[in-house]
A and B are shown apart, each in its own frame.
Chain A
């Protein structure tokens, strides 16, 4: 049962479609595990749609027949591309992950470019086109910990598998945890299982604050080819 949820601000900006891609990815990962928040997003989408219905239309130059000409020029098989995408069955091993992550990881976590720090911590970065934030998956081995670090920017973490604890609480699958700048914490994975998390961090201004930057300065960014 998830205990930590995105607040009204994150949920509203998500439903409105304005949340930056990396943070939206975190909210959508949480929704995968949380029906309550899914329902809130549906309600807020209804609100957006109601405002949309009531807005003043702007006159439209394109006539209907030119739109139909464009539509008629689209090859027929494209009609079914969308439904085919939805039904594609992911690798059973990680099918419990949110769809967007299955797509990002190409259904294969092992195929990612993992960087290891110490014996228990590894991470893999994504470039999803958000220049202001760093988005990565990280894995803490059972009983292991993340090197102690201080945040310069705000960080969102969503637990995808296993669980971890820090000085404040114990976090389980689906939990959406926000850490603000300046907080110090030392996450430790539960003894019985590896802990896999999705995280996005406001791109640090100083090079020394994010733990892997500290240890691997000037690490080159790696782009995953999905």
Chain B
């Protein structure tokens, strides 16, 4: 957990659009070299993201599969990437998030004995969780937003960083985070709200 914030940052790494040219090159030229660069950067991050599920045994099952499935979708869906709507990094993250949802659903049929029979293809994560949002959010705003978040995130108190990581990376709900941290639900809610306020993410309270 603590290593998360210790990754070295060059000035370039602060630019949320830095991966756009590579992804566009995959989309337009089907460039394998560009795809390999993306793969080498993102596959280990996606694998880390898979490990952010609570039980290690489940995470191990997920990790390789999530990284592979996500990168395959990046290749197949590259032509749908629109740099005017989000950065390549956010676009790839969104695919990883949705793929993780579907994999967890797929495996939960085996993990949870009481789960009723259902067809997990009736609805997939892509049907519910937006990929690239419509024109409500322009790239200038999103890239500004990400830089702003990056600048502000290191100023958050540790307990607030811990909570937003548990929620946004580890994928625990507010209630699960509360029992994981052994604090009341209200405490989790207020830490998240304070963190979002400090990150200047406009959320009605």
Give complex CA distance A42, B142 in Å.
8
Q: Which B103-162 residues sit within 8 Å CB-CB of chain A?
A: 105, 108-109, 112, 114-120, 122-123, 125, 127-130, 133-134, 136-137, 142, 145-146, 149-150, 153
Give complex CA distance A188, B52 in Å.
45
Q: Which residues of A contact B55 (CB under 8 A)?
A: none
Q: Which residues of A contact B171 (CB under 8 A)?
A: 16-18
Q: Which residues of B contact A54 (CB under 8 A)?
A: 4-5, 7, 150, 153
B76 within 8 A of A: yes
Q: Chain B nearest CB: distance from A226 CB in Å?
A: 5
Determine the residue in chain B with the shortest Cβ distance to A9: B174
Partner of B128, one of A25, A42, A43, A48: A25
Cβ-defined contact, A16 with B167, below 8 A: yes
Q: Which residues of B contact A223 (CB under 8 A)?
A: 117-118
Cβ-defined contact, A53 with B202, below 8 A: no
Give complex CA distance A43, B146 in Å.
8
Q: Which A41-94 residues sit within 8 Å CB-CB of chain B?
A: 41-62, 64, 67-68, 70-71, 74, 78-79, 82-83, 86
Q: Chain B nearest CB: distance from A94 CB in Å?
A: 16
Determine the residue in chain B with the shortest Cβ distance to A41: B130
Give complex CA distance A59, B5 in Å.
17
Cβ-defined contact, A58 with B44, below 8 A: yes
Q: Which B49-92 residues sit within 8 Å CB-CB of chain A?
A: 49, 51-52, 63-64, 67-68, 71-72, 75-77, 79-80, 86-87, 89-90
Give complex CA distance A70, B90 in Å.
24
Q: Which 3 pairs of residues, A with B, have the shortest CB-CB distance?
A: A57-B44, A129-B118, A49-B93
Interface 9-mer from A99-107, A170-178, A189-197, A208-216: A99-107
Determine the residue in chain A with the shortest Cβ distance to B199: A47
Cβ-defined contact, B128 with A100, below 8 A: yes
- List residues of B whose CB falls within 8 A of some A CB: 3-7, 13, 16, 32, 36, 39-40, 43-45, 47-49, 51-52, 63-64, 67-68, 71-72, 75-77, 79-80, 86-87, 89-90, 93-94, 96-98, 100-101, 105, 108-109, 112, 114-120, 122-123, 125, 127-130, 133-134, 136-137, 142, 145-146, 149-150, 153, 164-165, 167-169, 171-174, 176, 189, 192-193, 196, 199, 201-205
Q: Which residues of A contact B164 (CB under 8 A)?
A: 47, 51
Q: Which residues of B contact A67 (CB under 8 A)?
A: 39, 68, 71-72
Cβ-defined contact, B169 with A51, below 8 A: yes
Give complex CA distance A57, B39 in Å.
12
Q: Which residues of A contact B68 (CB under 8 A)?
A: 62, 67, 70
Most buried by A among B67, B117, B122, B176: B122
The dominant DSSP class at the A interface is helix
Determine the residue in chain B with the shortest Cβ distance to A16: B168
Give complex CA distance A41, B134 in Å.
12
Give complex CA distance A100, B58 in Å.
28
Cβ-defined contact, B136 with A50, below 8 A: no
Most buried by B among A8, A31, A41, A78: A8
- List residues of A whose CB falls within 8 A of some B CB: 5, 8-9, 11-21, 24-25, 28, 31, 35, 38-62, 64, 67-68, 70-71, 74, 78-79, 82-83, 86, 99-100, 103-104, 126-129, 131, 221, 223-224, 226
* Known A-B contacts A12-B192, A19-B173, A53-B89; A38 and B32 likewise in contact (beta carbons under 8 Å): no
Q: Chain B nearest CB: distance from A201 CB in Å?
A: 15
Give complex CA distance A10, B120 in Å.
22
* Known A-B contacts A25-B128, A56-B48; A49 and B67 likewise in contact (beta carbons under 8 Å): no
Q: Chain B nearest CB: distance from A44 CB in Å?
A: 7
Give complex CA distance A126, B169 in Å.
29
Cβ-defined contact, B3 with A56, below 8 A: yes
Give complex CA distance A61, B145 in Å.
34
Determine the residue in chain A with the shortest Cβ distance to B99: A17
